Amino acid sequence: MSDLLVHDQEGVRFLTLNRVAKKNALTSHFYAELADAFEAAVAESSVRVLVIQGHETVFSAGNDIADFIQRPPHDGEAPVFRFLRAVSACPKPVMAAVAGPAVGIGTTMLLHCDLVYAGDNALLSMPFVNLGLCPEAASSLLVPQRLGHVRAAQMLMLGEPIDAATALEWGLVNAVLPPTEVNAHVERMALKLASKPVDSVMTTKRLLKQAHAQDVAQRIVDEAQQFGRLMAEPAAQQAFAAFMTKRN
Is 66 or 153 the residue whose CB approaches ligand COA more closely?
66
- Smallest separation (angstroms) from ligand COA to the CB of 247: 5
- Smallest separation (angstroms) from ligand COA to the CB of 72: 13
- Smallest separation (angstroms) from ligand COA to the CB of 239: 8
CA distance 248 to 232: 22
Is 54 or 62 the residue whose CB approaches ligand COA more closely?
62
Is 131 or 186 the residue whose CB approaches ligand COA more closely?
131
CA distance 181 to 169: 20
Is 65 or 110 the residue whose CB approaches ligand COA more closely?
65
Chain-centre distance of CA 22, in angstroms?
A: 17
Contact call for residue 55 and ligand COA (CB under 6 A) = no
Out of 73, 104, 135, 161, the residue judged to bind ligand COA by CB under 6 A: 104
- Applying CB under 6 A, the residues found at the interface with ligand COA are 22-23, 25, 61-66, 101, 103-104, 127-128, 131, 247
